[in-house]
Amino acid sequence: MKVRIFQATLAATLIFFALLPTFADRYFINYFLLLFMYLTLAGSWNIITGYVGYLALGHASFFGVGAYVSALLIIEFGVFWPIAALAGGVGAAICAAIMGGICLRLRHIFFAIATLAFSEAIRVIVLSWDDVTYGGFGVSIPLYPYLAPFYYFMGGCAVATVLMTFFLARSNFGLRLLAIREDEDAAESVGVDTTRCKIIAFVMSAVLCGVAGGVYAPYITYIEPVSTFSVLITTQLIVMAVFGGTGTIWGPVIGVILLSTMQEIFWAQFPYLHRVLFGALIVGTILWMPHGLIDVLKTRGLLPRSRNL
Amino acid sequence: MLEGIPVIWLQVLVSGLLVGVVYALSACGLNLIVGVMGIVNMAHGEQLMIGAYITLGVYLWLGTQNPLILLVAIPVTFVLGMMIQKYLLEPMMESLEVGTLLLTFGLSVFLSTGGLFVLSANFRFVPLFSGSLVWGELAFPIARLVTAGFAVVLTGAIYLFLRKHRIGGAIRATSQNAEAASACGIDVRKIRILAFGLGSAMAGAAGALVSTSYAFNPDIGMTFILKTFAAIVLGGMGSFVGGLIGALILGVGEAMAAYITTAQIAEMFAYVILVAVLLFRPNGIMGIKKT
Amino acid sequence: MTDAATTTDHSVDDGSEPILRVENISKLFGGVHAVERCSMKVGRGSITGLIGPNGSGKTTLFNVLTGMTQSDDGGAYFLNRKINGLKPHAIFNLGMSRTFQITRVFKKMTVMENLRVAAAHGAGGEDILERAEELLRLFNLWDLHDRYAEDLSYGQQKLLEFARALMPDPVMVMLDEPFAGVNRVMAGKLVELIQRFQSQGTTFFLIDHEMKIVMDVCEWIYVMDFGEVIAKGRPQLIRENPKVLEAYFGR
């Protein structure tokens, strides 16, 4: 019975968002577009950090790589933006495969900072490689004059992310990832090829970030290395996923919705302050509700104690 | 022997060493924390940043040119480090590493953005020293010489402390095997707090020293922790001497890269080292493989 | 190898090819030989034991054979495939599974999920569930199949780990101190299960300290001390072997 209500609400929400551009004004369309974007980012990050248990601190780089690949394909080769966006995803996947191949051999504690280092390195490369990336000048993309397509594409990314997580939570592959998270050596000894699984999961966590970046570039029409690869993006997606609850399907969703709303209503007034609050929120969440809001709700009995939530 | 080598290379080499020694202070501090706590303190760079700002504050407040103000940052970051370990990290010691790492990441964000919020994003500097020491065709800024001297003394003192003093021994024992150390009557919790404080103080000291030679702002934390990390990976994580060697190589390498190419490319040097080491010799030069 | 003890039957069946051959395996830790030129054979369908006092190197050898550590010299062959140098998961996929001395069940996964992860490579979904249920019922854990592994008692976790090791229908199971810290009732249960699966063709290799149980259960025993194999043979002979007695008591 409860499941039916849940499914009905879900369906209604999807229909609501599908029809939104027909009745809402630009402010809301833009707001939800960015919300979908963060949903994609936070949800993707959740895969490597929540399900595999390896903290990744360099996810902004996948977003950035996606944005740049997309932007450059559009202005240098005239590729139509949705294709360019998908190519952005491919670019991010390749990055993740390389980064993962090198960093996933390390123990958790070093993996985290190694991903941060790679992310920074990519930023510096993009900044310095003027010939290809226009360096600090940034890349300007001609405006595609319709807003709704961007909205739907980003919405598609968000849905894809939730579906990906859903698949992971239910599949044998996902079970193997959990085993790695619980006890990597024991997982090895029961036949889990941990290296291969970790790299696949890492690539999975990067692909949609790249696509989101690939959509963001033509949407915002101008990108440059500082803001596109900013640690702030990583911080924001982390706080949203952690607050909602890593290792769950709906945790990042709730986290994104709640925190974006709060950000929009209160914090955006004080630009520097809200970043400080993010830092404090990460610390606070880890200390007092380490498995996020979803877990608190489960403990209080407001949600069933299923891991498929 | 000196005639064969072009003078400029000697200049570059010594400049690199002078910087490397300061990196070493930070690297040995981080190694200490990694060894005893088993985590990388993501806020290590911010401790360094705080050390720089404390020095700036004391400098402006006292209005003196006395080099001893560089030492003020040490007790402050020491206490700060101990408090962080005691109140934020100790409760987490039993749980998954991911949570602890995330916590230090959140702390790092909090401190750096907090710094931006409270202070300004403008680059600051502590002009404690001026002029250069000229020796033949070589010239070295007094600031770098004095701070390198401080760094050598401090690093040496910590090394001796760890080797000779009873508590230093307790720290080393805990980092090798906390359970065994506990069984020998060592209060592991207190040691962890102490070690974190010590590691943070070393970062703070490095920050104080850096403030006299480089412009800094609340954002420098990330650059420094990444360089520090590259140094300890190169030298072999967990090894004190390894951290020292790695830091020196990093300093010299950066100086050489800056001379050959541009300053921007030189910034990449740390990352190149990192990737190279991880690919070819993940245990670093003095690699201690912790089972 | 002309030693008489090696040319006589080293396995308890019809003397066919041993499924595990250890040839001159050595492992050093910082210059000290934890394991020095060890050689052993394990016959198909046998229950073979490896005993030795603390520090004898048996655990290290065990870790080499299961892929957790790399040997420095020598070769280990399972079903005529070289296994030293392979990663644990590859060894598992060849048909050798293992248990741990201190149970390492996946705590935040259910009992059922613990078994599902260990399913044989390429096994179908239905088969996996069937086999898991079969094992759980045999081990009396079926009622707990939906419970998180962390909620089980220590004894139940030990059984779960054992069941997990049997999940892929392995050729050989390596047991790491299976009787450590278990009471007599549980030990009896474990022995029963070992013998039951042996009768179905599974080979067992175990290391342990509990001399009495090892003597009772194993058909062939190797004894190690100071990194070397000092004796091998049937339990009765081992019991009276002066070198063994000296190793355990004479120091």
Max Cα separation, chain C?
56
Q: Which of B257-266, C23-32, C49-58, C131-140 has the lowest mean pLDDT?
A: B257-266
CB contacts, 8 Å: A286 with chain B: 92, 99, 102-103, 106
Region of C106 (left: φ > 0; alpha: ψ -120 to 50; beta: rest) is: beta
Instruction: List all residues of chain C from 46 to 85 with a beta carbon under 8 Å from chain A.
Output: 66-68
**pLDDT value of position B2:** 54
Is B237 within 8 Å of A55 when comparing Cβ atoms? no
Q: Enumerate the β-bridge partners of residue C42.
A: C20
For the stretch C36-74, pLDDT in tens is 888 899 988 899 999 888 878 888 899 999 998 888 888
Residue of B nearest to A271 (CA): B117
Is A128 within 8 Å of B264 when comparing Cβ atoms? yes
* Interchain CB contact of A231 with B (< 8 Å): yes
Residue of B nearest to A135 (CA): B264
Are A152 and A36 spatial neighbours (Cβ–Cβ below 8 Å)?
no
β-strand pairing of C81-82 with C73-78: antiparallel
B232/A106 Cα distance (integer angstroms): 14
What is the topology classification, in CATH, of domain C17-95+171-251? Answer: Rossmann fold (3.40.50)
A263-291 in b/e form (b: 16+ CB < 10 A) is beeebeeeeebbbbbbbbbbbbbbbebbb
The angle subtended at Cα B43 by Cα A67 and Cα A204, nearest 5°, is 35
Chains that touch A (3 or more CB pairs under 8 A): B, C
CB contacts, 8 Å: C119 with chain A: 172
SS3 state of residue B175 = helix
In what helix (H) or strand (E) does residue C136 lie, and over which residues does it extend?
A: helix C125-138
For the stretch B138-190, pLDDT in tens is 888 888 888 899 999 999 999 999 888 888 888 888 888 877 888 888 888 88
Are C220 and C232 spatial neighbours (Cβ–Cβ below 8 Å)?
yes
**pLDDT value of position C112:** 92
- Report in angstroms the alpha-carbon separations of C250 from B113, C213, C215: 67, 22, 20
Choose among B81, B244, B248, B241: nearest CA to B163.
B241
Residue of C nearest to A190 (CA): C118
**pLDDT value of position B3:** 60
Domain-located, residue A156? yes
Query: Which amino acid type is present at position A183?
Result: D
Facing B113 at nearest CB: one of A105, A242, A279: A279
* Interchain CB contact of C109 with A (< 8 Å): yes
Give the number of domains in chain A. Answer: 1
Is A178 within 8 Å of C88 when comparing Cβ atoms? no
**pLDDT value of position B284:** 75
**pLDDT value of position A178:** 92
**pLDDT value of position A68:** 95
* Residue A145 domain boundaries: 24-229
Residue B5 has pLDDT above 90, yes or no: no
**pLDDT value of position C205:** 94
For chain C, what are the domain ranges?
A: 17-95+171-251, 104-169
The angle subtended at Cα A30 by Cα A29 and Cα A36, nearest 5°, is 90
Least Cα separation, residue A8 to chain B (angstroms): 35
CB contacts, 8 Å: A125 with chain B: 268
In what helix (H) or strand (E) does residue C19 lie, and over which residues does it extend?
A: strand C18-29
Query: Which amino acid type is present at position A96?
Result: A
Q: Enumerate the β-bridge partners of residue B124.
A: B216
- Compute, in degrees rounded to 10, the torsion defined by CA atoms B129, B130, B131, B132: 30
Residue C213 has pLDDT above 60, yes or no: yes
Q: What is the CA radius of gyration of chain A?
A: 19
Low-confidence residues of chain A, pLDDT below 50? none
β-strand pairing of C203-207 with C47-51: parallel
Least Cα separation, residue A97 to chain B (angstroms): 14
Q: What are phi and psi of B133, to 5 degrees?
A: -95, 125
CB contacts, 8 Å: A178 with chain C: 106, 108-109, 113
Are A279 and B113 spatial neighbours (Cβ–Cβ below 8 Å)?
yes
Domain-located, residue A254? no
Residue C184 has pLDDT above 90, yes or no: no
Interface pTM, i.e. ipTM? 0.91
Q: Enumerate the β-bridge partners of residue C225.
A: C228
Query: Which amino acid type is present at position B89?
Result: L
* Interchain CB contact of A65 with B (< 8 Å): no
Is A192 within 8 Å of C89 when comparing Cβ atoms? yes
Is C109 within 8 Å of A175 when comparing Cβ atoms? yes
A94-111 in b/e form (b: 16+ CB < 10 A) is ebbeebbebbbebebbbb
Looking from the CA of B123 toward its CB, the CA atoms found within 13 Å total 9
For the stretch A13-62, pLDDT in tens is 899 988 888 888 888 999 999 999 999 999 999 999 999 999 999 999 99
Q: What is the pTM of this model?
A: 0.89
